[in-house]
Amino acid sequence: MTLTLQLGIIVGYLILALLIGLVAYRLTDRTAEDFYLASRTLGTIVLLFTTFATLLSAFTFFAGPNIAYAQGPEWVLVMGLMDGIIFAVLWYVIGYKQWLLGRQYDYVTLGEMLGDRFASRRLRGLVAGVSLLWLFPYVMLQQVGAGTALQALTEGAVPYAVGAGLITAFMILYVVVAGMRGIAWTDTLQGAFMLVTTWIALVWVLVAVGGPGSATSALASSEETAHFLSLGSDYYTAQWMLSTAITIGFGVAMFPQVNQRFFAAGSKTVLKRSFALWPILCVLLFVPSFMLGAWARGLDVAIPEGDNVLPAVLAEYTPVWFAALVIAGAMAAMMSSSDSMLLSGSSYFTRDLYRPFVEQSISERREDLLARVGVVLFATASFGASLVNPATLFELGDAAFSGFAQLALPVIVALYWRRTTRAGITAGILVSQAFYLSSLFLATVPSSYAGWTAGLVGMGLGLVVTVAVSLVTTPAADERRAIYFDGLGAD
Partner 1 sequence: MRRLELAGWIVVAIVVSGLAIPWFLWGDATLVAGLPLWLWWHIGWMGLTSIVFWLFARRAWGIGIETNSGDSSPEQPPQSTTGGERP
Inter-residue contact 270 to 106 (CB < 8 Å): no
Inter-residue contact 479 to 119 (CB < 8 Å): yes
Tell me: does residue 211 bind partner 1 (CB under 8 A).
yes
**Closest CA relative to residue 491, chosen from 47, 89, 105, 104:** 104
Cα distance between residue 192 and residue 354, in whole Å: 37
Site for partner 1 in 458-487 (CB under 8 A): 477, 480-483, 485-487
Tell me: does residue 229 bind partner 1 (CB under 8 A).
yes
* Member of 170, 199, 275, 449 binding partner 1 (CB under 8 A): 275
Nearest-approach distance from CB 204 to partner 1, in angstroms = 16
Q: Residues near 126 by Cβ (< 8 Å), separated by ≥ 6?
A: 111, 426, 429, 430
Alpha helices in 348-363 (DSSP H): 355-357
Tell me: does residue 222 bind partner 1 (CB under 8 A).
no
Tell me: does residue 232 bind partner 1 (CB under 8 A).
yes
200 or 242: whose CB is closer to partner 1?
Answer: 242
Nearest-approach distance from CB 91 to partner 1, in angstroms = 9
Helix, strand, or coil here: 462? helix
Q: Residues near 133 by Cβ (< 8 Å), separated by ≥ 6?
A: 396, 403
Nearest-approach distance from CB 292 to partner 1, in angstroms = 13
* Member of 27, 157, 196, 490 binding partner 1 (CB under 8 A): 490
* Member of 419, 446, 451, 468 binding partner 1 (CB under 8 A): 419
Alpha helices in 355-421 (DSSP H): 355-357, 364-388, 391-398, 400-416
What are the residues facing 42 on neighbouring strands? 265
Cα distance between residue 352 and residue 463, in whole Å: 24
The length of the chain is: 491
* Member of 20, 46, 47, 86 binding partner 1 (CB under 8 A): 86
117 or 351: whose CB is closer to partner 1?
Answer: 117
Distance of CA 298 to the CA centre of its chain: 31
Tell me: does residue 103 bind partner 1 (CB under 8 A).
no
Contact stretch for partner 1 (CB under 8 A) within 43-51, 158-166, 210-218, 403-411: 210-218
What are the residues facing 265 on neighbouring strands? 42
* Member of 277, 301, 303, 434 binding partner 1 (CB under 8 A): 277
Kindly list the residues in this chain that would bind partner 1 in the complex (CB under 8 A).
Answer: 73, 76-78, 80-81, 84-86, 88-89, 92, 96-97, 100, 211-216, 220, 229-232, 238, 241, 268, 272-273, 275-280, 282-283, 287, 291, 416, 418-419, 477, 480-483, 485-490
